[in-house]
Structure 1
Amino acid sequence: MSASDRRQEILQLLYQHQRMRVAELSEMLGVSEVTVRRYLAQLAEEGKVRRYHGWAALASEAAAERSFRERAQQATEEKERIARQAASMVPDGATVMLSGGTTTARIVHHLRDRTGLTIITSALNIAAEVVEWESCRLIVCGGLVRDGSYQMIGPAAVATIQRLTADFAFIGVDGITTRHGLTTSDIFEAEVDAAMIRAARHAVVVADSRKLGRTGVAVIGPVSEVGTLITDHKASPHICRDLEDHGVEVVRV
């Protein structure tokens, strides 16, 4: 594969994941980290990526928005099964927190037939759907809207969540490992997700198998704060056992 093709592949991966560590790019491309850094330097000179210590991101906000739409079309069958399983946990009358993310957005589709729900969300796209429901109370966190994810972040969002409690919090993540815990790509989003986990009686992570064993830039919290992980049947048995050994109930669908 030519250097030009490699650079294009890096851009495609960044479109899909928004931000990635150099080590992750190296592993996925099958080249050394030195080679990845050289390609990233060339892409940065062209204004296509931004380089940070140990990781890289797309330069344009518009690219981040496309990334969200593209991610919504990835692993669609797996995300749909995960969403149905998550929704099956919720009884009528429950209070449910939903973070931003492509999988949590699918969960809400399967909650529409419930009665007496209270939905608390930091995601504008989820709020826009729920606001039209009958027999449902909607609470939307304030704050700054993060480009590309529709999620509201910042002190206002965290402060709102800290004044609330919920039966369930369904949290989407970019990575989960026993070493680094739950991680995402944005430090301010991580703060909002962490507040939701603390506010809920039962915290549930929804993540397809691609997220297991990966590590994002920002730490949400340790896996010990999570009651359940719902993932798909392709998830590594070794990683699942490791999480179970740390007290996480792993449900593969």
Structure 2
Amino acid sequence: MSKGARSREQRQQRIVDHVLAQGSASAAELTELVGVSVMTVHRDLDELARRGLVRKFHGGVSAQPSTVFEGSSEYRMGAQRPLKEAIAGAAVQLVEPGGSILLDDSTTALAVAESLGDLGPLTVATNYLPAIEILKKSPEIHLICLGGNYSTTHDSFLGLPCIEAVGALSVDMAFVSTSAMNPTMTFHQEHELVQVKRAMLAAAERSFLLMDSSKMPRKALHQMAPLADYDQLVVDDGVDEEFLAAARDVLPVTVAPTGA
């Protein structure tokens, strides 16, 4: 790598780190941060937006999700972490040794993966590279890596090869999450992820939707699946009681205490 390319990579990583930490930043703020021209910063932001690491808006960028932008895997890992850990703690209580599990590329399912090593023997299939890195270390886990087209933004494998790999399985349980929901429907910003998640629901005897309270009630661009298509919803205790009552009219709901 040339010196100029290395300098650009380091500068862009510094921009990403700053936006992830702050949630959003103006172009002027980033220009001062990295010490280059406004035009250079805008070129950097165009490239980072193309890679799906940030979302551009007039005058700056954001790492936060919108109805059409999910946010990078790195951003999602840091968002609502205590809520996701509480939900994962409730979800793993549903797992029985000897079973087979599908995990999607959500960071809530990643929190589930972090707790599965002590519950084996289990067969676990996932398309999420961070989950693979965790699960490969457990001798009690028979790990199935679902390959496909690698997405840098999501740090996971997607596309038709992944969908076909999921379709070849028949598992006991699928743990999935998505970007948004209301009391009757789940949503996601990206059609490619919707297709993989739908394939996982179809491949599982029972499916569990893991959703933290920041995702409801919200909508995103694509409808993923009706709430009635899942067997159980697991949420944290920050969910509004009226919303919970409406969801319980559709399916069983487990509320995970956060201790907050």
Shorter-chain TM-score category?
A: 0.7 to 0.9
Secondary structure (helix, strand or coil) at the match of 1:167 reads strand
What is the 5 A alignment of 1:105-184? Answer: 105-179=110-184, 181-184=185-188
Give the corresponding residue for 2:234. Answer: 230
What is the 5 A alignment of 1:1-253? Answer: 48=45, 58-63=49-54, 67-179=72-184, 181-246=185-250, 248-253=251-256
Does structure 1 retain, via aligned residues, the 8 Å contact 2:51–2:153? no
Does structure 2 retain, via aligned residues, the 8 Å contact 1:16–1:67? no
Choose 61-70 or 198-207, whichever is displaced more: 61-70
RMSD of Structure 2 on Structure 1 (CA) = 2.6
Which blocks of at least 5 consecutive residues in structure 2 are unaligned? 1-18, 25-41, 56-62, 64-70
1:58-80: CA deviation from partner (whole Å, max 9, x where unpaired)? 44434379843232222221111
Structure 1 residues 109 and 99, CA gap change in structure 2 (3 angstroms): same
Greater radius of gyration (CA): 2
Structure 1 residues 166 and 68, CA gap change in structure 2 (3 angstroms): same
Secondary structure (helix, strand or coil) at the match of 1:201 reads strand
Does structure 2 retain, via aligned residues, the 8 Å contact 1:104–1:170? yes
| Residue type of the alignment partner of 2:210 | V
Distance 1:199 1:102 in 2: 20
Q: CA deviation at 1:107?
A: 0.6
| Residue type of the alignment partner of 1:249 | P
Q: CA deviation at 1:108?
A: 0.7
Distance 1:60 1:75 in 2: 23
Distance 1:190 1:146 in 2: 14
Structure 1 residues 77 and 62, CA gap change in structure 2 (3 angstroms): closer
Does structure 1 retain, via aligned residues, the 8 Å contact 2:178–2:187? yes
1:21-63: CA deviation from partner (whole Å, max 9, x where unpaired)? xxxxxxxxxxxxxxxxxxxxxxxxx67579xxxxxx9444343
- Aligned identity (percent) is 20
Q: How many residues align?
A: 206
Q: CA deviation at 1:160?
A: 1.0
Which blocks of at least 5 consecutive residues in structure 1 are unaligned? 1-11, 18-45, 51-56
Distance 1:150 1:100 in 2: 8
| Residue type of the alignment partner of 1:184 | H
Distance 2:72 2:197 in 1: 20
